[in-house]
Structure 1
Amino acid sequence: MARVGYLRLLRQRPILVLWSSAALSVLGDRLYGLAIMWVVYEATGSAAWMGIAAVVESLPYILIGAFGRGLIARFASFGRLGWLDAGRAVIACGVPLLWTPGRGGLVVLLALVLALGTLGVLFDPNLGSLVPDLVEPGQVRQVTGLLDLTNRLAVIAGPGCVGLILMAVSEVQLFALDGVTFAVSAAAMWWLRAHTRRAAAGHPAVPDTVAPAAGPAAPVAAGPVLRRHPDVALAIGLHGVGFFVAAVSAVGLPALLAVRLGQGATGYGLALSAVGAGALAGNLLVGNLRLGRWLTVYCCAWSVTGLALIAYSAAPTLPAVLAAGFVSGLATPAAAVTLRTRLAGFAAPQRLRLLTVDQTVIRTAGTVGMLTLPMAVDAAPATTFAGAGLLLLTAAGIAGAAGRRVVPASVAEPVASRS
């Protein structure tokens, strides 16, 4: 069912352009992530500096997301997003030209990473806010699932693609290839700007669900919106907990496989593939299905992820690890698509602000997790996995129980229209 729905969406040229550029951008993100980690490690020989690079890239997401709502709102149009990606293309392509071995080159590299992160925090929530207006309201869940599919495909195909590319270029040259993906994305944004203007000119009475406004949206405060919709506040908080504990599996799975099961790189690769396969299957299931109350589905998805972390800690064999990874992957799209679909129901200014808050929360929580949890993983991998799973399971249970009380009050107040 999801596959058919996705194909129907891709027959719409704006969605095809958007999805194609997003798929290429996801590959670019894989190139960028690998390049920054390897270049920094080769320059310093220090895992600590790799962590510093990750923190530097996240700082703009945390600071601008928390204090720059007016700045973010200034870029709420496809045309301005095109200029942001053009800037990222120039910066990324400039890294191989400006990079030199040694601490001086490292400082320049971190400055460029900071600049890319700054442009990224302005781009990401605005694109997420504009996408729902490209389709009819009944297709929002499908288009959200379709864009989520690019991430799921990247988990499976990304490592292989990067490996093939590295056979022809060096790690630092991956930045230039990432720059090319930004340039393609910029062209796609400008095409979408022209398309929406033509749609607005040809159908002046059509609401902005079909022809979104080209100008920037007025910034709004998140507090009043979240107080009126506590179900969304609960979901964003749970999202933060999920990203905090994600550091355990991100850095701890190799250690867990080595310590408990004596597995090496092959076992780790199989475990990642199992997660990717589960996420792909989960996306194809959730893209078009309405499974009940959105917050209940959301909390259940995170509960499954918590149970999978606990299962990791107790898995006696590699097949058991693969099964836990597959189940964890199944739950990931259910959480992501469900929350994005809920936020798409708000008017554009509120939607943008809530997406920004969500992005700030998960970036902050993920950064804190990466700075603290690896030490616990080093000391006791299995115990840390079990503790992280229990924490996530508890948070999901609390959010679900609280949601059953607050959702009726939230739903009683109608969601703001998009007009």
Structure 2
Amino acid sequence: MKDRYHYLKLLKERNVRLLWYSTTSNLLGDQLHEIALLWLVLQMSGSGNHVALVMLASRTPLFIVGLMGGVYSDRWNKIRTITIVNTICSVLVLTAPVLYIFNMLTVPSLVSLAAVIGIARCFGFPAYSGLIPDFVEKNRLQGLNGLLDTTKRVARSMGPAWGGTLTKIVPVAVLFVIDALSYLLSAVFVKAAKPIHVEPAEETTKTSKKSFAEDLFEVWQYIKKEKSLGLTMIGFGLYNVAYALGYWIGIPSLSKMLGNSPSAYSYLIASFGLGGLIANLTIGKWKMTNKSVVVCIGFAIVGSGFVILGTASNMYWAYAFGFCCAFGLPLMDIAMPAKIQEDTKREMIGRVFSLWRTLAEAGLTTGLLLGSFLNLANHPRVVFISAGIYAICVALVFMGLLKLRTKTPETSTERNVQ
């Protein structure tokens, strides 16, 4: 195993360590914020519909300003953008406990808060993703993305437990304060890192003089040229239809059918989380030469796991199948960001990341709407088997398209780099 893929070896590098601190701070704060936000909504309204409304408000901005965030994160100084966005988010998060103290907090105000924070993060995420290649060598990108993905999975597993424990000790409003501090701390860590690659001033000036439409058209032309990147992004969006059906509709429905208890659902989610974490710590360290194919293999593994989950006769088999199914997740979550960072010009990374996120979110939303429209929650086996077969088909189709692409004359910038 080479040092550049070994997480502990990577953490010996100062820049990697600071970026990891920044990500960890943000992730833990986000987990507390989500718990506090949803709990307050339930406490104030007692309605699950209001909880769904808050979640929708936090995700909708990606469709509205997601691409705009990518365009401007490429134009602006990325460290300054992250600092400003995190400061704004910190202030916004602090408004919740202030309104709570003065008995002015309402469900509409929480919905508005979630939406505005979502808008701000549309500018912060592409700036952060575009910044990573400036702080580490190209051959460290896969390892760093693997490390950050592992951290994300651990935070999602431990965050709810940590938040639940804190709510027993301190008022819920304190969780908002901790989240606000985590935003500031994250910005401090990014500010402390020292870039090893500096973008030429003339490139920034050239980009800033273009119109918004010209910036988007430039990215479209670039992705048309980099066919493997464009195909992988489109495939990701199509695959996410299956993922939304299986994870957000199939898992709760199967847990209710076989276990009929909240603990059954929690343990099935935990089995997914554990499977993804174990896979990350093993497969995630392997060198991924053709990252587009690796992403497609991830689609196929998850799809196969969904099909098998649809045959589970009891919750114990469901836990085992869920654990195995999740082995495909790190292949996608590590390979896709690393491919964008490695294959994309630095001055375009923010826009490409935003386009990828928009396509991915469109797939998730389509899956949820499809599941609701067809009333699939009452048929978990049908959900898993049909979603799994669809994901496998997506994997096979796009692997075929990628293979055809390799037979055509090479026109991408990868040849020039190599």
State the partner residue of 2:290.
293
Work out the CA distance in 2 between the residues paired with 1:21 and 1:68. 20
Structure 2 distance, partners of 1:53, 1:226, is 34
Residue 188 of structure 1 pairs with residue 185 of structure 2: no
Q: Contact (CA 8 Å) 2:69, 2:123: kept in 1 or not? A: no
> What residue in structure 2 maps to residue 165 of structure 1?
166
Provide the secondary structure at the position in 2 that maps to 1:290.
coil
Deviations 1:123-155 (A, max 9, x none): 111111110221112111111111111112123
CA offset at residue 39 of structure 1?
2.3
AA in 2 matched with 1:135: V
Contact 1:234/1:399 (<8 A) preserved: yes
Please say if 1:319 is aligned against 2:319.
no
Pair 1:67–1:169, CA change in 2 (3 A) = same
**1:154-183 deviations in whole A, cap 9, x for unaligned?**
233222212211212344442222112111
Range that drifts further, 242-251 or 26-35: 242-251
Deviations 1:38-82 (A, max 9, x none): 322333333222222222111221111245543333444112211
Do the aligned residues in 1 keep the contact of 2:243 with 2:364 (CA within 8 Å)?
A: yes
Partner of 1:203: none
TM-score normalized with structure 1 length: 0.87
Query: Aligned ranges for residues 108-123 of structure 1 at < 5 Å?
Result: 108-123=109-124
Hey, what's the Cα distance between the residues in 1 that align with 2:264 and 2:243?
19
Amino acid of the residue matched to residue 25 of structure 1? N
TM-score calculated relative to the size of structure 2:
0.88
The answer to whether the 8 Å contact 1:77/1:126 transfers is yes
Q: Which structure 2 residues correspond to residues 28-177 of structure 1 after superposition, within 5 A?
A: 28-67=29-68, 69-99=70-100, 105-177=106-178
Which structure 1 residue ranges, 5 or more long, are not aligned?
200-207
**Cα distance, 1:75–1:179 mapped onto 2, change above 3 Å:** farther
How far off is 1:368 after superposition?
3.5
Task: Tell me how large the CA RMSD over aligned residues is.
Answer: 2.7
Partners in 1 of 2:274 and 2:191 — Cα distance? 34
Q: CA deviation at 1:216?
A: 5.6
Partner of 1:256: 254
Query: What is the number of residues matched between the two proteins?
Result: 403
Does residue 379 in structure 1 map to residue 378 in structure 2? yes
**Letter matched to residue 256 of structure 1:** L
Deviations 1:72-126 (A, max 9, x none): 3344411221111011111111111124899971221111111100110101111
Task: Out of 4-13 and 166-175, give the one that drifted further.
Answer: 166-175
For 1:232, the equivalent position in structure 2 comes to 229
Alpha-carbon spacing, 1:40–1:370, altered in 2? closer, same or farther (3 Å): farther
CA 1:369–1:180: 2 relative to 1, 3 Å: farther
Counting only pairs closer than 5 Å after superposition, residues 387-406 of structure 1 correspond to structure 2 as 387-406=386-405
1:266 equivalent in alignment to 2:281 = no
Whether the 8 Å contact between 1:56 and 1:113 is mirrored in structure 2 is yes
**C-alpha distance in 2 between matches for 1:87 and 1:169:** 25
Q: Is the 8 A contact 1:308 1:325 kept in 2?
A: yes
Distance 1:109 1:416, change over 3 A: farther
Q: What is the letter of the counterpart of residue 155 of structure 2?
A: A
- Alignment equivalent of 1:369, drawn from 361, 367, 370: 367
1:101/1:360 CA distance change after superposition, 3 Å: farther
Residue 357 of structure 1: which of 355, 358, 371 is its match? 355
Q: Retained in 1: the 8 A contact 2:304–2:388?
A: yes
1:222 deviates by: 2.2
Amino acid at match of 2:383: T
Instruction: Give the fraction of aligned pairs with identical amino acids, expressed as a percent.
Output: 21
Asked whether the equivalents of residues 55 and 367 of structure 1 are also in contact (C-alpha less than 8 Å), the reply is no
Measured in 1, the distance between the counterparts of 2:266 and 2:110 equals 29
2:277 to 274, 280, 290: 280
Q: 1: CA distance between counterparts of 2:134 and 2:50?
A: 41
| Deviates further, 309-318 or 288-297 | 288-297
Alignment partners' CA distance in 1, 2:40 and 2:410: 50
CA distance in 2 between counterparts of 1:150 and 1:251 reads: 26
CA distance in 2, matches of 1:62, 1:369: 16
**Residues of 1 paired with 2:88 and 2:200: CA distance?**
23
With 170-179 and 280-289 compared, the bigger mean Cα shift is at 170-179
Give structure 2 stretches of 5+ with no counterpart: 208-214
SS at match of 2:106: helix
